[in-house]
Amino acid sequence: MSGFVSFVGSGPGDPELLTVKAVKRLKEADAVLFDDLSAGPILDHVRPGAELVAVGKRAGRPSPKQDHVSRLLVDYAQTGARVVRLKSGDPGIFGRLEEEITALREAGVGFEIVPGVTSAAAAAAAAGIPLTRRLEARRVQFVTGHDVTGGLPEGLNLAALADPAATTVVFMPKRTFAALAALLTRSGLPAETPALLAENVSHPDQRLTRSTVGALAADLGAQDSRAPGLILYGPLASDS
């Protein structure tokens, strides 16, 4: 007996940014395994009686191991349950989706992916800026600010990340941005490049800080904010 798993993108946190399909899957689910950033009012769409399981991972806090989360998905599905794996933002962007898919495939469990609004798009929308512009910013690139150890990833394509004509979005950047900024400036990106720090995107306590790559790196190195955020830098980040 095997159930089915829906990987559902919850968007950045505002329940009004859920897709119609995401809401439908939440209402149908027998069990919902959710990230920390997918909690709160989003879970109001889950039907009464469905099982809610918190499996979120947050930097600096005790968190379930990835193999445990993957095992839970398989175990719930093998009872015949309709399972929603609720991931913040879009499931396919720095959400370790592939590892969970691999576990389901090995167990012969069917699945689908329901995309969500990525926090990069939500941050740009909140700031009132586009991610691209003809001639000025014709390329968008997403990069993670830390690897599985919490440090800055090795092997970064610094030539691409230092391209002044691209819009670059750094996910989970706050602990490592000072180190990244130093590498970027050594690779030719001006320290005065506009940058935007977006924290708690789409939540009531959302905070947008317009700055530069150099100034933002200095500010983040001197503070210890635990609010989830991302950094967008490039020619459009200074627009208002």
Element (H, E) at 5: strand 4-9
Active site residue 57: yes
Closest of 240, 197, 189 to residue 218, by C-alpha: 197
Which of 35, 87, 163, 174 is catalytic? The answer is 35
Residues 159/186, Cβ–Cβ less than 8 Å: no
Instruction: List, in sequence order, every beta strand (DSSP E) within 10-44.
Output: 31-34
Residues 145/228, Cβ–Cβ less than 8 Å: no
CA–CA separation, 60 vs 49, rounded Å? 32
Active site residue 219: no
Which of 36, 57, 219, 239 is catalytic? The answer is 57
Residues 123/98, Cβ–Cβ less than 8 Å: no
For the annotated catalytic residues, the residue numbers are 35, 57
